[in-house]
Structure 1
Amino acid sequence: MLAPLGGVAIRWMFGGLGIFRDGLMFGLVARGALYLKAAPEETDAFAAEGGAPFSYATQGGRTTTIASYWQAPDRLSDEPEEFLAWARRACAAAEAADRAKPAGRRRAGAPTA
């Protein structure tokens, strides 16, 4: 379902899978759930679909990520076109987050404009 995006790679990480496009992580699979990168203005859409931000267990309980990865709606597995639209928005959120970083912390070769 991600093939139309082009440049997608999947890597083992965080006890799950990181989903990357052109070197930027835009999704992850953990504990059997798909999480997508969400721009701050899009988190309400994830919450409205029953999604929650990615969190993980720590010695003191649970920690929610600051990176804004939200659980994707389950219905997307049956709606390929809608899945692709959400994945494209996640890629755009990852690109925007990368552009917002100081120049020395950006992904190598990332566009600056």
Structure 2
Amino acid sequence: MADPFTELCVEMLSPLGPVRVRRMFGGQGIYVDELFMALIVQNQLYLKADDTTRERFVAAGCEPFSYSTATGERQVMSYYRPPEDALESPPLMLPWARLALEAALRATNAKAGKPAAKKVARKATKKATQTAAKKSAPAQPSAAKKAAPRRG
């Protein structure tokens, strides 16, 4: 069973769709409709942000998720805490959760447009076209049938 804070976060995000929680990054990753859109680290919820949504989080005074690398460098990720009052009310959380879900959707779509993904898609399309061409081509008589004498 999940801890009470994780259960609260799942409840707050569930109006957006089915929520799945998975252990990662020393915390938990939250997926809504299979889109990775939030983190829970040390009993703090962080929602995904991107270039389109980041300013909304910053303007509201939301803190980004950051961590120290093995070399002591501070890394800041594109996940922000929602405003404190959002964790107290599903209607207050919903706009922030929607921003995170939209950022997750944009990230997923951007990955699908990367050259490696396009190469795989072209290969699959080429194979499908070749298969379709073979199925629609007229049947060629086999060599044995060509050589067999006709009976009349």
Aligned length: 103
> Which whole-Å CA distance do the structure 1 matches of 2:89 and 2:56 have between them?
17
The reply to whether residue 96 of structure 1 matches residue 109 of structure 2 is no
> Which whole-Å CA distance do the structure 2 matches of 1:8 and 1:56 have between them?
25
CA RMSD for the aligned pairs?
1.8
The reply to whether residue 79 of structure 1 matches residue 89 of structure 2 is yes
Q: How does 1:33-44 map to 2 (within 5 A)?
A: 33-44=44-55
Partner residue of 2:15? 4
Partner residue of 1:63? 75
Given the two structures, how large is their TM-score scaled by the length of structure 1? 0.80
How far 1:52 sits from its partner (Å)? 2.3
How far 1:82 sits from its partner (Å)? 1.9
1:36 alignment partner AA: L
> Which whole-Å CA distance do the structure 1 matches of 2:105 and 2:62 have between them?
22
Q: Which runs of 5+ in 2 are unaligned?
A: 1-11, 119-152
> Which whole-Å CA distance do the structure 2 matches of 1:91 and 1:97 have between them?
10
Partner residue of 1:29? 40
How far 1:83 sits from its partner (Å)? 0.3
Q: How does 1:10-21 map to 2 (within 5 A)?
A: 10-21=21-32
Q: Secondary structure at the match of 1:55?
A: strand
**Percent of residue pairs identical:** 45
> Which whole-Å CA distance do the structure 1 matches of 2:60 and 2:25 have between them?
25
> Which whole-Å CA distance do the structure 2 matches of 1:20 and 1:60 have between them?
30
Given the two structures, how large is their TM-score scaled by the length of structure 2? 0.61
Hey, which of these two has a bigger chunk of helix by percent?
2
Q: Which runs of 5+ in 1 are unaligned?
A: 106-113
